[in-house]
Amino acid sequence: MTAFCEHFEPDLRIDPPLRVCPSCVAVGATWFHLRQCLACGQTGCCDRSANQHATAHFQATGHPMIRSAEPGEGWWWCYPDDRLYEEPGSTFAGGTAT
């Protein structure tokens, strides 16, 4: 695996991601894919979703990294560095990671 940036905290332990975007559920919206904040564990929808809750969470909190919350995907995204980190053998559909 590629070495992570300075924003990655290797000893951080967070709960598994939710299977829904709670912010979308609260407003009756749908989502495309889910992402999980690596600082606090919040699950939010991706930038292909209308509400882009994962990015909104980063903008509101400054929490720098997310991971995919989709089964079979093993990648992380660093917002400040605008950088994707992939786990070998994982699935990533390309395009922007968020």
Which pLDDT belongs to residue 96? 47
Residue type, 52: Q
**Which one-letter DSSP state was computed for residue 2?**
P
Residue entry with tokens 């400040």: 80
DSSP 78: E
3 or 91, which is more confident: 3
Q: Tell me the chain's radius of gyration from C-alpha atoms.
A: 13
* Ordered structural domains, the chain, with CATH: 22-86 (3.30.40.10)
Residue-wise pLDDT for 7-66, tens only, equals: 988 777 889 999 999 999 999 999 999 999 999 999 999 999 999 999 999 999 999 999
50 Cβ neighbours under 8 A, 6+ residues apart: 29, 30
